């Protein structure tokens, strides 16, 4: 029997379950009058930081609901992984980022989709081999040219990687909330053979991010060559210079999309672009702790140029494909190095320095 609101959430003694059909059916039913209860309680938890056992009556009063309706809404939000037990206090429910909640809840579905996709491709290849069909001309990935959704993209990359024999080049941009390149590429990396030449191009900011640096070191230990540049323009992988998988963010909040490219001219252009960026990129070393001096100088010069244009921190961060917090840390370091007391003063100094450098060049 539930004795309090914290009993709704999974605990170490009661691991989380994934009642997918029940959650789906209830959520569908909640599209009626009580869907507003879920929104109201979740927004309350987001504003106040938590929903606690002692605040049920207060929440009900503020939202114009009954205590039972608040408790029921909280239970459904826990099922949808939008609320979880407070790890510090342990007595209340705190809100969860919607993207994280969706990832946690849909991961079993995505795994099932991937398994079905792999089965479908194996069956297609088997039938083509028996019937003498043109599987060799169309390649191992069947006739689909475009797929949507992270699970489908992972399956596509995995199948392409299994068939890759000589070379894979990876363009891995920075964090885009609409695309999770590391999650997508993990299946690709795992499926590549040990004899495959792998080159990965990432943004400089990955050197300062602990998780990204640890992932890069793991890949480097497996033999991958990794370099970084200021910004990577596109999410893509090219296999054996014969097949490219280009990933783009979904429009209007939709799922990401992956497109297969087999045209020789397009692939050659992508490889040429990669080689050009690769030649000017900074090699990643297994023993480095973060930004190397020359990379830090490159970043600060890029930030200085954008600051000289009068751009805000948010715009500078977006241009350099880094978080606003990281960007502001670099800007603070730049102000200290210039001895500036304000952003405006730094912008004037930077503009003068850049003008002098251009005149000298």
Would 5-96 and 102-283 be classified into the same CATH topology? no
Give the least confident one: 54-58, 102-106, 291-295: 291-295
- Most confident region among 107-116, 117-126, 193-202 by mean pLDDT: 193-202
CATH of domain 5-96: 1.10.10
Domain segments of the chain: what residues?
5-96, 102-283, 293-360
Confidence of residue 290 (pLDDT cuts 50, 70, 90): low
Topology annotation, domain 293-360:
Arc Repressor Mutant, subunit A (1.10.10)
> How far is 108 from 24, CA to CA, in rounded Å?
13
C-alpha pair distances (Å), 189 with each of 117, 171, 203 = 18, 13, 18
Neighbour-count burial of 276, counting CB atoms closer than 10 A to its CB (0-12 exposed, 13-18 middle, 19+ buried): exposed
Strand, coil or helix: what is 210?
helix
Q: Does domain 102-283 have CATH number 3.30.870.10?
A: yes
Q: Which helix (H) or strand (E) holds 54?
A: none
Strand, coil or helix: what is 152?
helix
Which residue would you say has higher pLDDT here, 2 or 78? Answer: 78
Sort residue 227 into left (φ over 0), alpha (ψ -120 to 50) or beta: beta
Where do we find the tokens 């910004």? 231
pLDDT at residue 138, rounded to an integer: 46
pLDDT at residue 8, rounded to an integer: 54
Q: Are strands 83-85 and 225-229 parallel, antiparallel or unpaired?
A: unpaired
pLDDT at residue 179, rounded to an integer: 63
User: Strand pairing partners for 201?
Assistant: 171, 227
Output the pTM of the full model.
0.48
Two structure tokens written together for 352: 């003068």
Res 22 pLDDT > 50 = no
Q: Are strands 197-203 and 167-171 parallel, antiparallel or unpaired?
A: parallel
Q: Are strands 225-229 and 257-261 parallel, antiparallel or unpaired?
A: unpaired
| Percent of the chain residues topping a pLDDT of 70 | 72
pLDDT at residue 27, rounded to an integer: 42
Which residue would you say has higher pLDDT here, 29 or 211? Answer: 211
Mean pLDDT, the chain, as a whole number?
Answer: 75
Handedness of CA 149, 153, 154, 159 (dihedral sign): positive
Which residue would you say has higher pLDDT here, 122 or 283? Answer: 283
Confidence of residue 208 (pLDDT cuts 50, 70, 90): low
């Amino acid at each position: 029997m539930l004795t309090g609101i914290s009993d709704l959430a999974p605990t170490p003694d009661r691991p989380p379950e994934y009642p997918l059909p029940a959650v789906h059916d209830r959520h569908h039913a909640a599209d009626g009058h009580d869907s507003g209860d879920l929104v109201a309680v979740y927004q309350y938890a987001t504003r106040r930081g938590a929903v606690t056992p002692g605040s049920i009556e207060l929440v009900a009063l503020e939202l114009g609901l009954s205590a039972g309706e608040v408790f029921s809404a909280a239970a459904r939000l826990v099922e949808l992984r939008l609320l979880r037990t407070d790890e510090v206090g342990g007595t209340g429910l705190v809100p969860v980022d919607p993207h994280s909640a969706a990832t946690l809840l849909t991961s079993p579905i995505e795994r099932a989709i991937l398994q079905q996709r792999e089965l479908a491709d194996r069956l297609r290849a088997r039938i083509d081999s028996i019937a003498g069909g043109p599987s060799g001309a169309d390649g191992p990935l069947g006739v689909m040219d475009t797929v949507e959704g992270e699970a489908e993209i992972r399956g596509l990359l995995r199948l392409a990687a299994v068939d890759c024999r000589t070379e894979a080049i990876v363009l891995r941009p920075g964090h885009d909330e609409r695309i999770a390149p590391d999650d997508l590429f993990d299946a690709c990396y795992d499926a590549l053979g040990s004899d495959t030449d792998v080159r990965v191009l990432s943004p400089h900011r990955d050197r300062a991010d602990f998780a990204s640096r640890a992932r890069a070191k793991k890949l480097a230990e497996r033999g991958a060559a990794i370099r970084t540049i200021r910004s990577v323009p596109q999410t893509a992988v090219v296999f054996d210079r014969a097949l490219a998988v280009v990933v783009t963010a979904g429009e209007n909040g939709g799922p990401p999309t992956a497109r297969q490219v087999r045209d020789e001219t397009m692939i050659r252009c992508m490889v040429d672009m990669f080689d050009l960026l690769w030649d000017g990129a900074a090699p990643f070393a297994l023993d480095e702790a973060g930004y190397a001096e020359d990379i830090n100088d490159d970043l600060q010069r890029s930030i200085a140029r954008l600051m000289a244009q009068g751009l805000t921190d948010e715009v500078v961060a977006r241009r350099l494909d880094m978080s606003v917090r990281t960007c502001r840390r670099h800007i603070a370091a730049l102000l200290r190095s210039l001895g500036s007391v304000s952003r405006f003063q730094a912008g004037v100094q930077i503009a003068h320095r850049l003008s002098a450098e251009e005149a000298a060049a």
